[in-house]
Structure 1
Amino acid sequence: MSLTGTPPEVNDDLARAIDELAAGAERWARLPLDGRARLLREVHAAIAPVAEEWVRVAAAVKGLPAGSSLVGEEWLSGPYSALSAADAAARSVEALARGGSTLEGARLGAAPGGRVAVTVLPESLRESLLFHGFSVQVWLEPGVTAEQARREAGLDAVRVGANGGVCLVLGAGNISSIAPLDALYELVAHNRASIVKLNPTFASLRPVYEAAFAPLVREGLVRIVNGGPEAGAYLTTHPGIAKVHITGSARTHDAIVWGTGAEAVRRRAAGEPRLTVPITSELGGVSPVIVVPGRWGAADLRYQAEHVAMMRLHNAGHNCVAGQVLVLSADWPQRDAFLAELHAAFDRLPARGTWYPGTEGKVGQAVADHPGAELVNGRYIVEIGPGDPACTDEYFAPVLAWTQVPGTGAEFLDAAVAFANDELAGTLGANVLVVPRDRRALGARFDEAIVALRYGTVAINAWTGMGYSVVNAPWGAFPGDTLDDIGSGIGVVHNGHLLARTERTVVTGPFRPFPRSVLNGELSLFPKPPWYPEARSATATGRAMTEYAAAPSWRRLVPILFHAFRA
């Protein structure tokens, strides 16, 4: 046995893969932009034929029956996201090859605080119809001008000849498109080949990934491997690794960077990380759902309660950006009515087993920490206050906490933002629900509150998970985390336009689904979203959206709209 605990022949295979990737990175460095674009188009073409198998294997991992509407989650978070990312990458590199900008198709405008906002959804007439009522903007760091944004867009993709070496991508085990998309971003944005070590939960997806990304495997730009902690330890210390990217927990990140136990204490005190190469990361956190009090109709209470339930229960709660702490106003007359609808939504949504390793222990600890926890259809709802463990422990499980702060209007919003910023761990995503007329009444105070929220993705009347799916938007923590205090991580991925110096993504959606949206003065034709657990046609919609992403056309929009309006 080797010192790392893996057999020598396994280490030999990993070392050989790193050597092949180093050669591949050198070939990529010499490859002209038009050649890179053609290769990325090959990747896009390779994903569609294995989409069905991708979904089948991912659903089996999660214990989803073939006929379940929940399989729609796997279409949208798996091959659909991968196809969208490959297309976005190819478009950006094609634009650079023509001598243009990666910002082609995106609109630049102004965001609060003198920021530049880049609109990344919608970017076409078809997107306007497909996501009618939704918009996604990328806010750049304060002080970045529109001219700078255009000049700096492209990142390292513009540096033909630059070799970024080999990246170790430590893949997540909850959403099946995360690991391959991380590797794709390293290649396009930073000229790095990647060895992707899959989380053991997705070990069975390895053949699917290798088929979907066969052009990159063929060119020595991606290698996909399975293995446990010993393989990860070997790879993080291999001299051929130039960079590490991890999607996972802060605990795992810190063990890689600082070690564990006494070693970690000593290294932190001395400022001497055991990891000697750069690392970027996406590490989750405790996501708030802020409900701005107002006068809501009965249908609004029911729909938005289901919205909150979806944020918590999507993927059985095993999401890094699942809504975990609901922030309500203690002075909202409809607070109890909303909580009653939330309980009803938890009870109404299909029962579903948890599947992620370690969930039982996390749920048990959450229940032990909250003697008053309410069990609703196999899920838990708990009331908390400041300093509660739910504020700092990411449950990654079907446990929803709620709290209340005083005030209405701007007073409440300021208090809720302060609670989210100061009490909750992490800065990955925050959600805000507000009736459109109340948002208009708040005016600049609402914009100021969004600016004050220190989160990498902020969703207004939408779920931050949509920010993950819109691959032209950067995905990651709010800037400012460090190796010493890692929070939700460092750096971003996705970022299809290859924007530099991004601060946050802002997703805006309709407060009501069609037709109630139009009847109440909202300009939105979007029905109940297919990612809602109660969307009966979710699987058919997810499949149709994946087929559209494989070959976008007006003709392929029709089945999407047909299935979506049956939700």
Structure 2
Amino acid sequence: MPRPTKSAAPSSATLDDATLDRHLAALETGARLWSQFTLDQRARLLTRVHATVGAVAAEWADAAATAKGLAPASPLRGEEWQTGPYATLVGLDAARTTLDELAAGKSPLDGVRLDAAPGGRLRARVFPADASDRLLLSGFSGEVWFEPGVTTASARASAGLAQLTPGTSGGVGLVLGAGNVSSIPVLDVLYELLSANRVSLLKVNPTQDPLVPVFERAFAPLIELGFLRIVRGGGEVGAYLTQHPAFSHVHITGSATTFDAIVWGTDRDAHTQPRLAVPITAELGGVSPIIVVPGRWSDADLRFQAEHIATMRLNNSGHNCIAGQVVLISEAWPQRDAFVEALRAAYEAAPSRPVWYPRSDEKRAAAASDYPAAVSSADGTRLLVELGADGDARALETTEYFAPVLGVVALSGLGQAFLDTAVAHANERLSGTLGANVLIDPATEAALGAGFERAIAELRYGGIAINAWTGVSFTVPQLSWGGFPGATLEEVGSGIGVVHNALLLDRVERSVLRGPFRPFPRSIGALASRRGVFTVLPKPPWFVTARTGTAVSAGLARFRARGKVLPLLVTLARAFRA
């Protein structure tokens, strides 16, 4: 491919050919240097990065929260601690552990329980990984499921990906960063470096321009050695870079529309062959279901799970690729009306916040047009769409609104019949395969037994959360993050490939996160009945209704940065006032 001429450079003050040439020269040198680093040197480098991220954690969270219009005293600012510095710190910790194990001649799966999953699959029970995990995410567990055909021997042998051949360079890659969550771009860069031995030019989304100075200090150890460069710019800069011959690979977190423009050009029908000359991986979101399995729930269960669903939709004002969008509920459930009433109340009462992402108002207006009977709340910024079995849910189920729009769709059946219907509905009607959520009480799960696990295996999603939100999986680095396998350049769906995946596992199909149905102290019943999951967590700090969300999330991030126990005890005490 010929090098673009000077006149082809993007018309942006953020990047010109001379600046790009300097960045590329540094990265090409960095790619050669990385291939000479031993695994032990790489682990020690991540220790340095961990320290620099911890040093700017408060500034990072503050800059992200301020850019989203959150007031200084808002408990919702805790979200920016969780999905910014906290997610990055735990990701670095987990990656460093993997490198340490490989450097010692071990497999990252040594000590990890491997057993059979439904459908002839193998799964690795990767979380919790240590005592800190068991305390900070009490009651949560995570599994990585491999594609059918992967054996215990092959899983162990391939764990480590490119770190099994550290001297083989992956060249220089281009990472086009997401604009909604601050740790996404930098975690994508980290995965490129470890999974493929590929250094990166990161172009941030314009919504994250205020964070660039923080990123440059947080990742100074990588930048100094030529393993990372960061540039700004709009769509024209991204378009220019994707056609530049210096890059061996492109990774994007964004929309399918942007993906198609990169691969096929803005006129999709005019091209029969991809215009992109290098491989591409992508995470592109979708419409996430929340399957509510009918059971016998207490009033407290109804309220708690209603707040849970409100959180799935309203976290980050709904500007999440993994936001829950369609609640699938049994029309025959005797408690259906009580649950929908609790959901209406929780959705309306959740704290007000700016709807800040560009063009989200247009998406909400489109939903209001499609569903004029939808209930509007929070000064008109939120919509709740309720549809019966005969309602037309096509727009709701095929449009990723990326805004505070939540739908409730009624389906037939009870028990296993409902669950099977809901799984088929999610697979066949909802766009995308990134994440699915299932809420089920312990007694009902026990009654369904193997039928429940079979239904989970039938869900064609890259991330599944049972009595949890898949958004929490984002902060568990041992789990994979990406759409269900099978996407192509022609039909990309929720994307191609995975990220996070700190154990560097090959042929990953999905990750499953399991959480407690009831918070502490109501979770104590699980100890007596031996059903369900016990947790010491009260209302989790990521709930949008958690009054101490900022204080707790900041305290947890500081613990991950510094490892000091006494401040952690103070943080945990605050969690009980959520």
- The bucket for the TM-score relative to the shorter chain is over 0.9
Partner letter of residue 563 of structure 2?
Answer: P
Structure 2 counterpart of 1:381: 384
What's the Cα RMSD here? 1.4
Does 77-86 or 32-41 show the bigger shift?
32-41
Does 394-403 or 17-26 show the bigger shift?
17-26
Structure 1 counterpart of 2:75: 69
* Aligned partner of 2:436 among 424, 430, 438: 430
1:284-295 equivalences under 5 Å are 284-295=285-296
Partner letter of residue 48 of structure 2?
Answer: E
Partner letter of residue 325 of structure 1?
Answer: V
Report deviation, 1:105. 4.9
Does 156-165 or 6-15 show the bigger shift?
6-15
Matches of 1:222 and 1:435, distance apart in 2? 46
Report the secondary structure of 2:524's partner residue: helix
Partner letter of residue 319 of structure 1?
Answer: N
Structure 2 counterpart of 1:318: 319
Structure 2 counterpart of 1:273: 274
Could you give the per-residue CA deviations for residues 397-438 of structure 1, whole angstroms, max 9, x where no partner exists? 000011011000010001000110000000000000001110
Greater than 6 Å deviation, 4+ residue runs: none
Could you give the per-residue CA deviations for residues 333-379 of structure 1, whole angstroms, max 9, x where no partner exists? 11111111011102221111200000111111110111111112231
* Aligned partner of 2:169 among 158, 163, 171: 163
1:307-346 equivalences under 5 Å are 307-346=308-347
Residue 181 of structure 1 pairs with residue 187 of structure 2: yes
Structure 1 counterpart of 2:574: 563
Report deviation, 1:33. 1.3
Structure 2 counterpart of 1:462: 468
Report the secondary structure of 1:120's partner residue: strand
Partner letter of residue 572 of structure 2?
Answer: L
* Aligned partner of 1:113 among 106, 114, 119: 119
Partner letter of residue 475 of structure 2?
Answer: S
Report the secondary structure of 1:469's partner residue: coil
Matches of 2:492 and 2:535, distance apart in 1? 39
Partner letter of residue 482 of structure 1?
Answer: T
Mark the runs of 5 or more structure 1 residues left unpaired by the alignment: none
Q: Is the 8 A contact 1:105 1:123 kept in 2?
A: no
Q: How many residues align?
A: 562
Structure 1 counterpart of 2:398: 392
Matches of 2:107 and 2:374, distance apart in 1? 53
Matches of 1:105 and 1:492, distance apart in 2? 23
* Aligned partner of 1:2 among 3, 7, 16: 7
Q: Is the 8 A contact 2:9 2:16 kept in 1?
A: no
Partner letter of residue 462 of structure 1?
Answer: A
Q: Is the 8 A contact 2:12 2:237 kept in 1?
A: no
Q: Is the 8 A contact 1:126 1:554 kept in 2?
A: no
1:84-123 equivalences under 5 Å are 84-123=90-129
Partner letter of residue 303 of structure 1?
Answer: F
CA distance 1:278–1:227, shift in 2 (3 Å): same
Residue 282 of structure 1 pairs with residue 287 of structure 2: no
Report the secondary structure of 2:142's partner residue: strand
Structure 2 counterpart of 1:57: 63
Report the secondary structure of 1:507's partner residue: strand
Matches of 1:101 and 1:113, distance apart in 2? 25
Matches of 1:254 and 1:297, distance apart in 2? 47
Report deviation, 1:558. 1.7
Partner letter of residue 452 of structure 1?
Answer: E
Equivalent pairs: percent with the same residue?
A: 53
Report deviation, 1:525. 1.9
Matches of 1:35 and 1:330, distance apart in 2? 58
Matches of 2:332 and 2:51, distance apart in 1? 54
Report the secondary structure of 1:20's partner residue: helix
Q: Is the 8 A contact 1:4 1:230 kept in 2?
A: no
Matches of 2:441 and 2:287, distance apart in 1? 24
Partner letter of residue 8 of structure 2?
Answer: L
Q: Is the 8 A contact 1:130 1:557 kept in 2?
A: no
Matches of 1:215 and 1:142, distance apart in 2? 40
Structure 2 counterpart of 1:531: 542
1:231-310 equivalences under 5 Å are 231-261=237-267, 264-267=268-271, 270=272, 272-310=273-311
Report the secondary structure of 2:495's partner residue: coil
Partner letter of residue 270 of structure 2?
Answer: R
Matches of 1:187 and 1:27, distance apart in 2? 12
Report deviation, 1:383. 2.5
CA distance 1:7–1:60, shift in 2 (3 Å): closer
* Aligned partner of 1:492 among 493, 498, 515: 498
Matches of 2:218 and 2:111, distance apart in 1? 27
Q: Is the 8 A contact 1:343 1:376 kept in 2?
A: no
Report the secondary structure of 1:346's partner residue: helix
Matches of 2:386 and 2:514, distance apart in 1? 28
Matches of 1:88 and 1:373, distance apart in 2? 44
Q: Is the 8 A contact 1:18 1:241 kept in 2?
A: no
1:72-83 equivalences under 5 Å are 72-83=78-89
Report deviation, 1:34. 1.3
Report deviation, 1:157. 1.0
Report deviation, 1:128. 1.6
CA distance 1:119–1:379, shift in 2 (3 Å): same
Does 12-21 or 306-315 show the bigger shift?
12-21
Report the secondary structure of 2:75's partner residue: coil
Structure 1 counterpart of 2:559: 548
Mark the runs of 5 or more structure 2 residues left unpaired by the alignment: 1-5
1:352-367 equivalences under 5 Å are 352-367=353-368
Partner letter of residue 196 of structure 1?
Answer: L
Could you give the per-residue CA deviations for residues 76-111 of structure 1, whole angstroms, max 9, x where no partner exists? 100001111111111111111111122245332232
Q: TM-score, normalised by structure 2?
A: 0.95
Report the secondary structure of 1:2's partner residue: helix
Report the secondary structure of 1:366's partner residue: helix
